Structures are given as structure tokens and as C-alpha cells.
């Protein structure tokens, strides 16, 4: 990914320097990346990392990604790095790609949830990179997305402050995230490359760099699908449901007749007469998955805060370029099936 040419101005530099000081003192700082905002702690400070889990209300066996400032730091934090991982790092970093690798002794247990692997990423955002460079040598930032566990990831500083403002030491504002969806997560086992989470880098791009297939890796310990009993992920608090177009229109009109307020989000064009009830708000998104992905979370945050009874969304196209979007929307609608 090409980095922004824009240089940080003096005021931004001072804020980043203040954030770096806070991190070194064990503070918690929300910071922008090109994917979503992260909730950062010094990856070598066990107490600070524990605070991140606490603030996020995240189970401690759910590992954090370690963010580094330069590719040369990769073999400080990871070991036995396969050539395929180097190849991907050289090609896609800085960028929305997380590599799961065998962890080095420098990584505390609490970062990895006790596993012997660690997720590592070099983000492509000038503020994140400056921050990583300012915290000093042999330092990295352990960070999950800066949202409460199970909720929608933040793509602006305002999204972070709505839920976490008084719980953390600082929010660095770096504008709206350009990718808008989390990083693609890749792991390596016995020469096979697995996709753990679709994200900002399309699988096809990874396959063409490696010149071999990437295998989709479903969780080895499937969770029981009990609606409502388990937290859904990437979910708004307003019930969200996915439908193909004809059923979507039918459902919105049925709910409108019951005096319920719905927002209907489509990528297809719809004749406005099909959704004419006053308590239906129709939002037309882009047909381009890159643009759609950029705006998806911001849209969900906006309509989740508005007084709607339902968010009804058009099922995304079943095409590889929509994989990350489909994955997030399926999880967002999970609790309401
Ligand atoms: O784009 C992103 O990846 C953002 C930005 C802030 O970098 N971060 C992010 O972090 O999405 P989080 O914590 O919300 O999601 C990280 C995912 C989790 O599902 C976690 O289980 C997985 O990465 N993960 C982290 N370390 C892992 C490991 N060692 N093995 C398997 N999965 C791992
Ligand atoms: Mg997250």
C-alpha cells in the first residue's frame, strides 16, 4: 500500500509525542490506523496490556495484534518466520495484513492469550507509524480495535470517544480510516497458508504474490450457535438483518405497516416507490466493495445511534472481493437470526 505523502504538522507531532510518553508510562492510547482505530498499550508492559482487556471487556484468551514500526523488527517479535511470511510482509507492509507467527520470548503471555503464536502487523497510517517510531527501539504496540468487545470497530476518533472517552488516557485523531475494515489475518502451518480473517487485503492479491492457494481456516473449536446466548461480533445494538432484495423490500414494508422504523441499506438501485413509507429510510451504498468497505462501519455507527427499530441490509454479492464485508455482516446479524 502506498503511504500518504502528507507530513504531520507541528501540532500533530506534539500530540503523537505526548501519546508516546503516555504509552511508555503504561497508559492506554487510542490511535488511528488505515483499517480501524486501535486501543494501544506498550506490548512489553503486562499491566498496561491487562488494562486493554479490561477496558474492552474482552476475554483474556482472545489475543491482541502486536503493531510494529518497521519490517526489520519482525524477527525481534517472532521467530522461525517462513519465507512466505517475509514475502507477504515485504509486499504488503505497511498495510492491512496481520501475520500469525511463532512468538519470540519478548512477547508477554497476556498479549497472546497464552498461545505460542503472535499476530504482527505494520500499519500504513502516518500517525501510527510516527507513534511506533517514537516509543523507542524494541518497543511495539499491542492493540485490538478500539471498541467494546463484540461491537462495531471505530473508523473515526468520534466513534472511539462515544464509548471509551473517559476510560482511556488519550485519543489520537488521524481522521477517517481509509480502508475501513480490519486487516486480513494469515497463518502458516507446515507449508500451507491459511486465511483466519478476510480483511483489507484481498485473498487473490495474497495468492498472486505467493503463487499458491490460501486455504480458508474455520475455527477449530466451533461455538454453539445459540441466538442471543453468545455475543455476536462487529454488531450494532439495533437488530441488524440481511436479506436478498425482494425479501428486503417486503420486510421493510411489513415492519413499516406495524409502525416500526427501519433503515434499509442496499448496494442495488431501488425504485423509491418500492420503499415509500415515511418510517423507512433508504440508504444506497456503492457497488464497489472498496468504497462500500470504507463507509460500512461509519454508516452502522450512525444508524445504530439513531432511533431505528431495525437495520435491514441487502446481502452482499457472493464474490471474492466482497468476502470481508460478507464476513462482518454475517457476524453483525448473528444475534438476530
Ligand atoms: O486491522 C486490524 O487488524 C485492527 C487494527 C487496530 O490493527 N486490529 C484488530 O484487532 O482488528 P482485534 O483484536 O479486534 O482483532 C484481532 C484478531 C482477533 O480475532 C484475534 O483472535 C486474532 O486477531 N489474533 C490475534 N493474535 C492471534 C494469534 N496468535 N492466533 C490467532 N489469532 C490471533
Ligand atoms: Mg476487533
At 151-162, the pLDDT tens digits run 999 999 999 999
pLDDT at 2 over 50: no
If pLDDT is split at 50, 70 and 90, which confidence band does 20 have?
very high
Q: How confident is the model at residue 217 (pLDDT cuts 50, 70, 90)?
A: confident
Task: Give the Å distance between the CA of 10 and the centre of ligand 2.
Answer: 31
pTM listed for this prediction:
0.94
Spatial distance between the Cα atoms of 65 and 118, rounded to a whole number of angstroms: 7
Per-residue pLDDT of 278-293, as tens digits, reads 999 999 999 999 999 9
**What confidence score (pLDDT) does residue 223 get?**
36
Chain mean pLDDT for the chain: 93
pLDDT class of 8 with cuts at 50, 70, 90? very high
Per residue in 253-267, pLDDT (tens digit) is 999 999 999 999 999
- Asked if residue 311 has its Cβ within 6 Å of ligand 1, the reply is no
Query: What is the helix, strand, coil percentage profile of the chain, to 5?
Result: 35, 20, 45
Cβ 325 vs Cβ 296: under 8 Å: yes
Percent of the chain with pLDDT over 90: 89
**64-90 mean pLDDT:** 98
Q: Is the CB of 148 under 6 A from ligand 1?
A: no
Asked if pLDDT for residue 270 goes beyond 80, the answer is yes
Average pLDDT over residues 52-59: 95
220: cis peptide before it, omega within 30°?
Answer: no
Does residue 5 surpass a pLDDT of 90? no
297-314 pLDDT per residue, tens: 999 999 999 999 999 999
* Mutational pocket test of ligand 1: of 56, 118, 131, 144, the residue with most ligand atoms within 8 Å of the beta carbon: 144
32 pocket-lining for ligand 1 (C-beta < 6 Å): no
Ligand 1, residues 182, 201, 331: which to mutate, most atoms within 8 A of Cβ? 182
DSSP character for 224? P
Tens of pLDDT, residue by residue over 172-195, are 999 999 999 999 999 999 999 999
117 backbone dihedrals φ, ψ, rounded to 5°: -115, 165
Res 228: pLDDT? 34
Reported as a pLDDT band with limits 50, 70 and 90, residue 6 is: low
Amino acid at each position: 500500500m502506498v503511504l500518504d505523502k502528507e507530513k504531520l504538522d507541528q501540532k500533530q507531532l506534539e500530540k503523537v509525542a505526548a501519546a508516546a510518553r503516555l504509552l511508555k508510562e503504561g497508559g492506554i492510547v487510542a490511535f488511528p490506523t488505515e483499517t480501524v482505530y486501535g486501543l494501544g498499550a506498550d506490548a512489553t508492559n503486562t499491566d498496561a496490556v491487562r488494562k486493554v482487556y479490561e477496558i474492552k471487556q474482552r476475554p483474556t484468551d482472545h489475543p491482541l495484534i502486536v503493531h510494529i514500526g518497521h519490517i526489520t523488527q519482525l524477527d525481534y517479535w517472532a521467530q522461525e518466520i517462513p519465507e512466505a511470511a517475509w514475502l507477504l510482509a515485504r509486499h504488503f507492509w505497511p498495510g492491512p495484513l496481520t501475520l500469525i507467527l511463532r512468538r519470540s520470548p519478548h512477547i508477554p503471555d497476556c498479549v497472546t492469550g497464552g498461545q505460542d503464536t503472535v499476530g504482527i502487523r505494520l500499519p500504513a497510517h502516518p500517525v501510527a507509524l510516527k507513534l511506533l517510531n517514537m516509543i523507542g527501539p524494541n518497543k511495539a504496540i499491542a492493540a485490538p480495535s478500539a471498541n467494546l468487545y463484540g461491537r462495531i470497530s471505530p473508523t473515526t476518533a468520534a466513534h472511539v470517544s462515544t464509548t471509551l472517552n473517559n476510560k482511556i488516557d488519550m485519543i489520537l485523531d488521524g481522521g477517517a480510516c481509509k480502508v475501513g475494515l480490519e486487516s486480513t489475518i494469515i497463518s502458516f502451518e507446515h507449508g500451507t497458508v491459511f486465511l483466519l480473517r478476510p480483511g483489507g487485503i484481498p485473498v487473490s492479491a495474497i495468492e498472486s504474490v505467493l503463487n499458491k492457494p490460501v486455504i480458508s481456516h474455520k475455527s477449530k473449536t466451533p461455538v454453539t450457535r445459540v441466538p442471543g446466548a453468545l455475543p455476536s461480533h462487529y454488531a450494532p445494538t439495533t437488530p441488524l438483518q440481511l436479506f436478498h432484495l425482494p425479501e428486503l423490500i417486503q420486510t421493510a414494508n411489513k415492519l413499516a405497516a406495524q409502525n416500526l422504523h427501519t433503515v434499509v441499506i442496499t448496494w442495488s438501485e431501488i425504485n423509491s416507490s418500492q420503499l415509500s413509507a415515511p418510517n423507512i429510510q433508504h440508504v444506497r451504498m456503492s457497488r464497489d466493495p472498496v468504497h462500500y468497505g470504507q463507509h460500512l462501519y461509519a454508516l452502522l455507527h450512525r444508524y445504530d445511534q439513531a432511533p431505528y427499530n431495525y437495520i435491514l441490509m441487502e446481502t452482499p454479492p457472493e464474490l471474492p472481493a466482497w468476502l470481508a464485508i460478507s464476513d462482518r455482516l454475517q457476524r453483525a446479524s448473528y444475534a438476530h437470526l
